[in-house]
Amino acid sequence: MSNAHVVKAEEVQMYSILSPDGEVLNKKDLPDLSDDQLKELMRRMAFTRTWDERAVNLGRQGRLGFYAPVSGQEATMIGSEFALEKEDFVCPGYRDMPQIVWHGLPLYQAFLYSRGHQHGGQIPEDVNVLMPQIIIGAQILHATGIAMGFKKRGKKNVAITYTGDGGSSQGDFYEGMNFAGVFKLPVIYVVQNNGYAITTPYAKQTAAQSIAHKAVAAGIRGVQVDGMDVLAVYKAVQEAAERGRNGEGATLIEAITYRYRPHSMADDASKYRTKEEENEWALKDPLVRFRKFLGDKGLWSEEDDARVKEEAKAAVNEHIKKAEQTEKMTIPGLIDSMFETTPQHLEEQKKDFQ
């Protein structure tokens, strides 16, 4: 068979701004952020790391339900959300609670969501997020539809959605990107490639050179970024958002990152990951890297770390108590929460539980 018509995709190179030891690789790449914005990025990452540690413990105590740890992925989560505007829409997967909390969802409602309480999903009207999607990849379609709505209404907003490397094997992933490519929609697809889809290693997930290459078939822009580098993630998402607002279409961003803890607290990562691998990724820790960068600029200190850690602990304690003090769910209340006006046949069924 002739190779005359075989399409050869260009090689994708991972985009970084900071080296693992916090040195700037190219000053021209630095995003235009003030000192206060840089410190806020660090504060949010440090806060999220402590929140994650406390949430894991709360889960072990039976005070939370399902919880997916995030430590190691803070740069991708925090850097991407920080590049958005309040009117932009965030469509998360089940590990992406930090993005929607920093986008405006009260923390106690995130805890209620984990506890299976209906109020956890009652999003304030001025907060543009959906609740975390449990069905793998379904959020891809939601973000694509929201982006279509933005385009039809002539709004200069973008939708952003997240999944893992495992989510890139779902049909929804390809369908959403194909639709966005055809209609040049203002949507950003972020794949947090942490090397494993639960226990399945990336090498068994796809034969493609990278997940970013998958953008080629959809006719959208594909980028691979160092997901442990908060500045690189911020800039990649900022540029993708600008393209979306300007009518230039969608972007697929593959963020190469690592999840330090197991897939969930029901998982034993030691059965499929080695200590050598974990130690290698620990050297690329996003908090250590950015802390070194800020420290060299005189913008961050050990005292700042301690202050944020105490701030996060206090916030988690306050919000878990508020979640625990929320009135317990009832079946009639659950039925009423599903409708603006409860249908008559359900009103009759409610009587059985009163």
pLDDT, tens digit, 9 for 90 and up, residues 20-79: 999 999 999 999 999 999 999 999 999 999 999 999 999 999 999 989 999 999 999 999
DSSP code for 271: G
Rounded CA separation 161/250 (Å)? 11
- Answer yes or no: is 131 within a domain: yes
- Mean pLDDT along residues 300-325: 97
Where is average pLDDT lowest: 24-28, 41-45, 202-206, 290-294?
A: 202-206
Give per-residue pLDDT as tens, 129-147. 999 999 999 999 999 999 9
Within a domain: 220: yes
Percentage above 70 pLDDT, the chain: 97
**pLDDT band at 339, cuts 50/70/90?**
confident
Whole-model pTM? 0.94
Does 16 map to a domain?
Answer: no
> Are 210 and 224 contacting, i.e. CB atoms less than 8 angstroms apart?
yes
Q: What are the C-alpha distances in Å from 52 to residues 47, 157, 351?
A: 9, 30, 41
C-alpha dihedral (188, 189, 193, 196), degrees to nearest 10: 160
142 belongs to the catalytic site: no
In the annotation, is 272 catalytic? yes
Please pick, among 44, 259, 261, 273, the residue that the annotation labels catalytic. 259
The reply to whether 61 falls in a domain is yes
201 Ramachandran zone, left/alpha/beta (phi>0; psi -120 to 50)? beta
- The yes-or-no answer on residue 5 being catalytic is no
Q: Is the pLDDT of residue 171 over 70?
A: yes
Q: What is the mean pLDDT of residues 257-268?
A: 86
- Phi–psi pair at 301, nearest 5 degrees: -140, 175
CA pair distance 189, 43, nearest whole angstrom: 25
Return the pLDDT at 270.
86
Nearest to 119, CA basis, from 128, 129, 131: 131
Name the residue among 42, 36, 40 with its Cα closest to residue 18: 42
d(CA 296, CA 298): 5
φ/ψ of residue 246, rounded to 5? -90, 5
Q: How many domains does the chain have?
A: 1
CATH label of the domain that carries residue 50: 3.40.50.970
Strand, helix or coil at 211?
Answer: coil
Q: Which of 54, 119, 260, 272 is catalytic?
A: 272
| d(C-alpha 110, C-alpha 308), whole Å | 20
pLDDT at residue 113 greater than cutoff 60: yes
3 in a domain, yes or no? no
pLDDT value at position 46?
98
User: Are residues 309 and 48 in contact, defined by beta-carbon separation less than 8 angstroms?
Assistant: no
Query: Which pLDDT score is estimated for 13?
Result: 86
- Residue range of the domain that includes 77: 27-353
What pLDDT does residue 3 have?
A: 45
Within a domain: residue 21? Answer: no
**Does residue 62 sit within a domain?**
yes
Q: Identify the DSSP state of 133.
A: B
* Residue 100 within a domain: yes
pLDDT mean over 291-302: 97
pLDDT at residue 268, rounded to an integer: 84
Q: What confidence category does residue 239 fall into, taking pLDDT thresholds of 50, 70 and 90? A: very high
Average confidence score pLDDT of the chain: 93
Q: Is the pLDDT of residue 6 over 60?
A: no
CA 297 to chain centre: 28
Could you say which of 117, 263, 289, 291 is catalytic?
A: 263
How far from 315 is each of 107, 211, 290, 318, 321, CA to CA, in Å?
A: 8, 37, 23, 5, 10
159 beta partners: 89, 187
